[in-house]
Amino acid sequence: MFGAGKPYSFCMPEPSSIVSAIPATTPFVGPETLEREMRKHFELRLGANESLFGASPLAIEAMQRQAAIGHFYGDPEGFELRSEIAARHDCAIQNVVLGSGIDELLMLFCRAYLPVGDSALTTFGSYPTFEYAVQSVGGKLLYDIYSDAGTIDLESMAHFALVDAPQVLYLANPDNPSGTWHGPDAIAEFRSQLHRDILFLLDEAYSDFAPEVAPFDPSDTGLVRLRTFSKGHGMAGIRIGFALCHAEHVSALNKIRMHFGVSSVAQAGALASLRDEDHLARVVSETIRVRDWLAKEMLALGFPSLPSQTNFLTIQIGSKERAEDVLLGLRKQSVFIRKPMKALDDHIRVSIGPQSVMEEFLERFRKVCPF
């Protein structure tokens, strides 16, 4: 009988060969981790492209009401929110799938469409969560590099895709960490050059800040449009996003997604935020105004920025070493920013917030910049 006689000797279960092959790394070192190491809080939190303008007051009220009945499960189909999203994108509810942010959706699409050993193409330095998604299913990563101007070269990427024929292609537009953007015509031309059987994951997390966004085509079987409430809507910590895609993709993801993974509180907040169009418009307008102001101020100090269509600014410091010095210097000044880790590693990336916050950032930047 279990528990009687000699102590039972257990063997340590081994993770799968796929998981064992992945290096032990942390996707993001959060500001909380750094605060624990420093034993003090950041006074300016400008490193994760969160909205410093906050969520819509209507969304906050809706989430508070929903939290009061949080002892009930939420709708696993997300019917009301998906219906609202579908109406706004002129498609059917069957073309919309929810997830706890774009991160989870990337994981799900890789699980569903990337066989072990097959390849996925991304840009060297773009949003790293996609890399973790590919590695988690045993996929092979292929990288195209940024252009000399710090932008994604769509012609180069299309050629790479034609030659190497990856199963999945990931592109962020507007891009993170560069902040640069390609218009709908350029994306359509790029799309037309890809193999018919490729799955094109188009990450549009920052689309609220872009000058123009193409309408969704529900008949396109190979294109997935990924959106989030983390940026313009100011709900990063609530964790909710969605994908617009062909109905067969939604059906495939329904087989593997966590059906209660998007909480009722998140669904209520996202629905209210969508309906508060004035709040989003104010956030976008003020973000653009302050972002352009900061770019001019940094240029006056001798630090040019990449052209941004996002809620952050990527600023050239001159070298990787100088960028690291600024990063650490600002950390001592209680300012949290990030620096691109692969491409663009001679830049820093700064989230845009209200004017007063960015003026304080500029003052502290002047204190730590020795060159």
Say which residues have a Cβ less than 8 Å from residue 7's Cβ, sequence separation at least 6.
none
SS3 category, 11: coil
- Asked if the structure places residue 113 within a domain, the reply is yes
269 and 293 share a domain? no
Angstrom CA distances, 31 to 34, 36, 48, 229, 353, stand at 5, 9, 9, 20, 17
- Asked if the structure places residue 125 within a domain, the reply is yes
Token pair recorded at residue 30: 């959060």
DSSP tag of 41: -
In DSSP terms, 170 is beta-bridged to 201
Identify the domain boundary among 259, 275, 291: 275
CATH number of the domain that residue 138 is part of: 3.40.640.10
CATH number of the domain that residue 332 is part of: 3.90.1150.10
Domain extent at residue 30 = 26-53+278-368
- Asked if the structure places residue 130 within a domain, the reply is yes
- Asked if the structure places residue 15 within a domain, the reply is no
Identify the domain boundary among 275, 292, 312: 275
266 and 290 share a domain? no
CA contacts within 13 A on the Cβ side of 255: 8
Average pLDDT over residues 281-291: 98
- Asked if the structure places residue 1 within a domain, the reply is no
Sign of CA dihedral 13, 19, 22, 23: negative
Provide the edge-to-edge strand list for the sheet that holds 168-172: 96-99, 241-244, 223-228, 199-203, 168-172, 119-123, 140-144
283 and 136 share a domain? no
Name the residue with tokens 């569903």: 112
pLDDT at 301: 96
pTM of the model: 0.95
187 and 304 share a domain? no
Token pair recorded at residue 66: 């929903």
Give the integer Cα–Cα distance in Å for 109 and 257: 10
pLDDT class for 4, splitting at 50, 70, 90?
A: low
**52-56, 142-146, 314-318, 367-371, range with the lowest pLDDT:** 367-371
143 and 250 share a domain? yes
Name the region of 54 (left: φ>0; alpha: ψ -120 to 50; beta: rest). Answer: left
Give the integer Cα–Cα distance in Å for 249 and 114: 13
- Asked if the structure places residue 45 within a domain, the reply is yes
177 and 312 share a domain? no
176 and 231 share a domain? yes
State the first-to-last Cα distance of the chain, in angstroms, to the nearest integer.
Answer: 73
pLDDT of 3 above 70: no
Identify the domain boundary among 253, 275, 297: 275
Comparing CA positions, the residue from 370, 365, 367 lying closest to residue 298 is 365
356 and 308 share a domain? yes
Count: domains in the chain:
2
Name the residue with tokens 């909710």: 240
E strands along the chain, which residues?
44-45, 96-99, 119-123, 140-144, 168-172, 199-203, 223-228, 241-244, 312-316, 335-336, 347-351
For the segment 237-269, what is each residue's pLDDT rounded down to a tens digit?
Answer: 999 999 999 999 999 999 999 999 999 999 999
Q: Phi and psi dihedrals of 170, rounded to 5?
A: -115, 130
pLDDT at 10: 82
**DSSP annotation string for 86-131:** HHHTTS-GGGEEEESSHHHHHHHHHHHH--TT-EEEEETTS-THHH
For the segment 219-230, what is each residue's pLDDT rounded down to a tens digit?
Answer: 999 999 999 999
Q: 146-185: string of b/e by CB count within 10 Å (b at 16+)?
A: beeebbbbbeebbebbeeeebbbbbbbbbbbbbbbbbeee
- Asked if the structure places residue 82 within a domain, the reply is yes
33 and 137 share a domain? no
For the segment 61-113, what is each residue's pLDDT rounded down to a tens digit?
Answer: 999 999 999 999 999 999 999 999 999 999 999 999 999 999 999 999 999 99
Tell me which amino acid residue 238 is.
I
Q: What is the mean pLDDT of the chain?
A: 95
233 and 335 share a domain? no
170 and 235 share a domain? yes
- Asked if the structure places residue 6 within a domain, the reply is no
pLDDT of 370 above 80: no
Give the integer Cα–Cα distance in Å for 288 and 355: 11
Sign of CA dihedral 100, 291, 276, 96: negative
Query: For a pLDDT cut of 70, what percent of the chain falls above it?
Result: 97
For the segment 167-210, what is each residue's pLDDT rounded down to a tens digit?
Answer: 999 999 999 999 999 999 999 999 999 998 999 999 999 999 99
pLDDT at 16: 93
Name the residue with tokens 């709908």: 184
340 and 215 share a domain? no
